[in-house]
Amino acid sequence: LRTTLLFLSPKDLYTAPDSCEGRCEEPYSREDECHCNAACERYHNCCEDYYRHCQPEGFSTSWDAITDEDLLHISEQLYKADHNKARPTDIAINPQYQASPDETGDQEDRSPQPLYKYVNEELFSKPTYASFIKLLDNYQRVTGREEDVTAEELREQDNFLREVMKTELMKKLFAFLHKKNRYGSEGEFVADLKEMWFGLYSRSEGEQDSSGFEHVFSGRAHASGMGGSGQRRAGGLTPGSPLCLGEVKKGKVSGFHNWIRFYLLEKQGIVNYFSHNFNGPWNTYPDVLGLQFSWDGFYKEVGAAFIGCSPEFEFGLYTLCFIARPGRACHLSLGGYSLSIQTYAWTKSTYGNGKKYIATAYVMSP
């Protein structure tokens, strides 16, 4: 029995930000619920806290706004600083069939071979890779089941953050955000990274059952309308087992965008690659692929992912876009080519002084 995955638009789950904190003098975008540049006063569409944040005494004035040009510049810097990315000889992929827009929902396996022909697993011994992979078995698969975070798992979170912050890439990201008045010290930045990515919140019945890291990098399955065999498929892995695939809720899957996770699960025979609908213009890594696949009996129609980047690259770009453009498309430049990332904040609970957790982040393929 084959189960179709149905997806809720993130806009059905999360709302765009309605605050000017950190957004003063942002360029106008129709996607925004309210606006934070000087013209909003004339058009009467300012956010309610515009005068608190965007006047000279406010947190963010025009001199420390993150402009579209800033994002293009810093993303190119981060792209060049990804020294831990895969070399061309480290990965060989076999994209095989390219699906047309009319074919992505067909659930036909048009690619008989795995996506990954070869991966040099020596990559995984690098500190940021090794610490990232250790995090993947720390989560309950089922939504609504409260996470029991052990002392060892907290140490693994701290170790991952410590390792990524040693890299030139994350140091450049911090320097940029520090210059833009978002963080006063590296310690403050790291503490906020831990909260926004690893802080637990509830996606079901009040249980502290999810986090941004779990959703984005581990994936999420939402079971809906499944009968007998569908439920057995959804339970195919024991919750908390190594490389478990995220969470199960009402037969739908979201998240699961990370290439390392995909490779490891494809190697185990749990993920079956079907086709791709987009192959990015990059002739080296990181690249971007929009792909269709089945996972433990469920089908994902379109899932765009970086291929061959380091964990810190993906983690850093998503962090940048969540801080600079939450709830809207974040337009970047990598090696001279355009790329956009979408992030959404979790709006039902906050941490600290009203700060938002990451709900989701993903690459937007054309």
pLDDT tens digit string along 29-44? 888 889 888 888 778 7
Nearest CA to 104 out of 12, 13, 5 is that of: 5
- Please confirm, yes or no, whether 257 is among the known catalytic residues: yes
> What is the rounded distance in angstroms from the CA atom of residue 361 to the CA atom of residue 220?
13
Burial 153-189 (b: 16+ CB within 10 A, else e): beebbebbbebbbebebbebbbebbeebebbeeeeeb
pLDDT category at 102 given cuts 50, 70, 90 is very high
Residues 6+ apart with CB under 8 A from 61: 24, 25, 54, 55
**Residue from 53, 85, 249, 257 carrying the catalytic annotation:** 257
Which is higher by pLDDT, 209 or 57? Answer: 209
In three-state secondary structure terms, 147 is: coil
**Residue the block writes with tokens 């990451």:** 358
Q: Which of 85, 180, 215, 252 is catalytic?
A: 215
Q: Which residues of 79-95 are buried (b: 16+ CB within 10 A; e: fewer)?
A: bebbebbbeeeebebeb
Q: What tens digit of pLDDT does each residue of 145-198 get? A: 444 578 898 999 999 999 999 999 999 999 999 999 999 999 999 999 999 999
Note whether 101 and 276 are within 8 A (CB).
no
With a cut of 80, say whether residue 208 has pLDDT above it. Answer: no
Rg (CA), the chain: 20
Task: Name all domains of the chain by residue range, CATH numbers in brackets.
Answer: 11-65 (4.10.410.20), 68-221+245-364 (no CATH)
The active-site residue out of 222, 249, 300, 356 is 300
Decide which of 5 and 344 is more confident. Answer: 344
Helix segments in 82-150, DSSP class H? 127-135
pTM of the model: 0.77
- Please say if 348 is a catalytic residue: no
Q: Specify the pLDDT at position 220.
A: 54
- Tell me if residue 83 is catalytic: no
